[in-house]
A and B are shown apart, each in its own frame.
Chain A
């Protein structure tokens, strides 16, 4: 059963909470950085979860035409599993963390391509429309969120395939580590991390992300001002 977003929110599409994303939480993303994690400016591999926020101006529903800013050749498509919080989540333990989850959805955490993770500009991830999200799927549908396949298609050609099994912190552990210092509220979404290399897509192309048990999220890219 896949229920509609309308149960959590009303049009115009807006989440009831805040969308947080975990950076470098997929082994492939960490491996892509390689030994750079020990060199300046990073100096050491990440210790705690590295998080960022997709603000409300980025949130759009399925089918949205996401604008590619003028002067930007392509956008990075960040297919990931989003965990929707159902109950106030503070200081969770991995053993019971999933009890606080209402369900899951597909998140496309879109970025302007950027090479450095040190102090990226807000422009790269917080642009209007840069966080399309799919339909909400109740937790009961997903027995194990840590073995889902994530496929990305651009114009119906599969350009990336990953699995949540490759997460550095699996969903329950990530929730425990995050809620140790910040409480997550019902309606908040935690995007659990993009695998590397993230594919790119250009204006005029159609993006489709499929995650097992969650269905698919489709949206398009258009030129700015189109």
Chain B
């Protein structure tokens, strides 16, 4: 099952796809996909993100072998949904998208092993985890000013049940900027795969329903500018679209 969470007619609704351009709300109404405001498809708990978890991207950033996953945390204020706008501050030189497979926890996980880890996964969605390199400082990398900006984490469009993703170890990821293919990868190239990440994280922090793991991005990040439309695709999970806007839109 693919499920969205949308605002429509003054309320928040669960919705499922209805043909290519419509949604069916839980109350039976069928509405056009562009007539709703898309929210993150689930109530987001702790947001854990992985840095440099694809061999090619790690190489792209001249990064050597890792002893343990490079995980960091993000706050819920950074989350926006499908078809949202994200601010690109005027004057920054390098702001880039990161298409990532997001793993949504469905059942509390405390010290689980690889063997049972996947039983704690509710489903998957697409994440676009923007970064602004201009703000990178060498303390607690990547610092929140780079990675936890308002509107800097796009999630959606759908939460797809784990049961409906036949092989999460072989999903293609693609990012298009204004229709041009800029980033491409496959989850088979994850350095730490999903069971390893759940085993690692749950070994010191109890994961709970709604917690989400952004599993990292493959090579092919590039600068994007205000006005650009960024679309992230993952096989079987849909297409997550977001537009960059300038300071003017935010009255800055």
| A4 at interface, CB cutoff 8 A | no
| B-side contacts of A52, CB under 8 Å | 73, 140, 144
Identify the stretch in A123-131, A142-150, A151-159, A194-202 within 8 Å (CB) of chain B at 4 or more residues. Answer: A123-131
| A138 at interface, CB cutoff 8 A | no
Instruction: Report yes or no: B137 in contact with A47, Cβ–Cβ below 8 A.
Output: yes
| B-side contacts of A181, CB under 8 Å | 144-145, 148-150
In whole angstroms, how far apart are the Cα atoms of A145 and B78 in the complex? 28
Binary interface encoding of chain B residues 161-205 relative to chain A, with 1 for a CB under 8 A from any of its CBs, else 0: 000000000000000000000000000000000000000010011
In whole angstroms, how far apart are the Cα atoms of A58 and B48 in the complex? 14
Instruction: Report yes or no: B77 in contact with A50, Cβ–Cβ below 8 A.
Output: no
8 Å CB contact of B138 from A55, A118, A183: A118
Q: Which 4 A-B pairs have the closest CB atoms?
A: A53-B73, A55-B46, A51-B144, A122-B71
| A20 at interface, CB cutoff 8 A | yes
Contact residue range for chain A?
35 or more
Instruction: Report yes or no: B138 in contact with A43, Cβ–Cβ below 8 A.
Output: yes
Q: A46-B137, A52-B140, A181-B145 are in contact. Are A20 and B75 (CB under 8 A)?
A: yes
Residues of A within 8 A of B (CB): 18, 20, 23-24, 41-44, 46-53, 55-58, 69, 90, 117-123, 126-128, 181-185, 188
Which chain B residues (72-117) contact chain A, with CB distance < 8 Å?
A: 72-78, 110
Instruction: Report yes or no: A128 in contact with B70, Cβ–Cβ below 8 A.
Output: no
Contact residue range for chain B?
20 to 34
Chain A residue, CB-CB nearest to B52? A119
| B135 at interface, CB cutoff 8 A | yes
Binary interface encoding of chain B residues 32-43 relative to chain A, with 1 for a CB under 8 A from any of its CBs, else 0: 000000000000
In whole angstroms, how far apart are the Cα atoms of A52 and B70 in the complex? 14
Q: Can you give 7 contacting A-B residue pairs, CB < 8 Å?
A: A42-B139, A43-B138, A47-B137, A51-B140, A56-B45, A57-B206, A181-B145
Instruction: Report yes or no: B204 in contact with A23, Cβ–Cβ below 8 A.
Output: no
In whole angstroms, how far apart are the Cα atoms of A46 and B140 in the complex? 11
